[in-house]
Amino acid sequence: MITFLQHISDPRLRETARKVLDGERITPEEGIILYTEAGLPLLSVLARAVRERLNGNLVFFNRNFHIEPTNICINNCLFCSYRKSAGDPESWQYSVNEIMEIVKRFDNVPVTEVHITGGVHPKRDISFYCELLRAIKAHRPGLHIKAFSAIELDFMFRHSGLTAEKGLEFLKDCGLDSIPGGGAEIFDTGIRNRICPGKTSAERWLEIHEKGHLLGLPSNATMLYGHVEDYSHRIAHMELLRQLQDKTGGFNAFIPLKFKRYNNPMSEIPEVSTLEDMRNYAVSRIFLDNFRHIKAYWPMLGREQTRMSLSFGADDVDGTIEDTTRIYSMAGADEKNPVMNSEELTSLIRREGYTPAERDSLYNIIREY
C-alpha cells in the first residue's frame, strides 16, 4: 500500500487515500478533494476497497415489484417528468381494489417485496393508505411492504392531524415494514427552493426517517444529482445522512439518483456523463462509511452502466422490478419497460467478477449463486 500511495503526488489526496484504505472516516473537505482531484482509476481502487471490506465479494438483488398509486401530485418539482394534474389524460389514481389487482398478478411469482410510492394526492389521507396496507397484508402476509416516501408521509400526517411518530405507529400497525428513500433530492435549502419550491423541507425529511428508525422501520436514502448542485452540496447532503446513520443505524442503503432531463421544465440542463455517474458512486461509497450498501438503480442507469458501477463501489442492483415503474421511463431513461429476471441479474453481476446474492428487504441472504 505504501508504494501505491507514493504514486499520488498531491499530499492532501494521498492522505485522504491512506485514510480510506486504513478504514478511517474522511471529512467533508476530504470528500470534496476526492470529487475534484482524484482520477477514476484511484476512485475505483478506493471504492472497491470499502465495498469489499463491508460486503466481501457479494452483490445483492431481490425479487420485487412496484406499485405507483397515482401520479397526481400537489408538488410541482421542476425536475419531475412524472407528475400530472387531475384530469390530465396521462394521469392515474388507482383505487384500493385496482391496486390489489396488481398485487394479485404476482400471486404465483416468488417476489418478496412490493415498493409503493407515487405522487402526493391532494385528497387522500392516511386512512386510504392504511386500508391499502391492511388489504395487502391480508392477501399476502409474507410480502414485505416498503412504502411511501417522506414527502408522501409528511402530507398524510399533516392532512390527518398526526405527529410523525403517531402517524408512523399507525402505518406500522397497518402493515408498513420499511420506508423508501425518495424525496430527499438535495438538502441544501437554496437549491431546494429552486428545483422543488414548497416541497417538504430537508429537516422534515430527516425527522420522519429518524422517527421511523426509532420505531423499528428501516429506510433507504437517496440523493438527486447532476442538475444545478455542485460537489459541496452533494457532500453536505451525505454528511447529514451520515450523521443520522450514526445516531440511529436505520438506513439500509444509499441510492444516488441521476437527474434525467426529458419531459420536464429543467430540460435545458444537460445530463452528466457516465464518467460523472461513476465518480459519484465511488465518492458516495467512500464517504458514507456507515452505510453498508450502495444501490445502483438499474432502471435509471441502464444495464451496462449498472454493471460498470460495481467497479465503483455499488454492491446492490435493486431487483427484478417486473415492468412496474414509470418514474424514470417518463423522464427519458433507456429502460422503457424495466424488467430483469434473476438469471439476467446474476449474469450482469458475474460479468464483473462478483458473487450474486439474492436478498430479502433487510439484506438477509436468501441464496448465493
pLDDT tens figures, 270-326: 999 999 999 999 999 999 999 999 999 988 888 899 999 999 999 999 888 765 554
Task: Determine the Cα–Cα distance for residues 342 and 281; give it in Å rounded to an integer.
Answer: 24
Query: Which of 154, 211, 149 minimizes the C-alpha distance to 182?
Result: 149
> In angstroms, rounded to a whole number, what is the distance separating the alpha carbons of residues 213 and 297?
23
Structure confidence at residue 323 (pLDDT):
58
Where do the structural domains in the chain lie, given as residue ranges?
2-38, 57-368
Long-range contacts formed by 355-360: CB under 8 A, 24+ apart: 355/56, 355/57, 355/58, 355/59, 356/58, 356/59, 356/61, 357/58, 357/59, 357/60, 357/61, 358/60, 358/61, 358/62, 358/63, 359/60, 359/61, 359/62, 359/316, 360/62, 360/112, 360/113, 360/144
Per CATH, the architecture of 57-368 is what? Alpha-Beta Barrel (3.20)
CB 199 within 8 A of CB 77: yes
Distance between CA 256 and CA 277 in Å, rounded?
A: 9
C-beta contacts of 171-176 below 8 A and 24+ residues apart:
171/126, 171/129, 171/130, 171/133, 172/215, 172/216, 172/217, 174/129, 174/130, 174/133, 174/134, 174/137, 175/133, 175/134, 175/136, 175/137, 175/145, 176/133, 176/145, 176/147, 176/148, 176/217
Q: What is the pLDDT of residue 333?
A: 44
Query: For the chain, which ranges sit under pLDDT 50?
Result: 326, 328-329, 331-333, 335
Report in angstroms the alpha-carbon separations of 203 from 154, 210, 233, 284, 290.
11, 10, 15, 21, 20
> 340 with 320: CB under 8 angstroms?
yes
The residue whose grid cell reads 464517504 is 287
75 alpha-carbon distance from chain centroid? 20
Main-chain dihedrals φ then ψ at residue 224, nearest 5 degrees: -85, 120
Tell me what pLDDT residue 66 has: 92
Q: Which of 53, 195, 213, 183 is nearest to 117 (CA)?
A: 183
Q: What is the pLDDT of residue 335?
A: 46
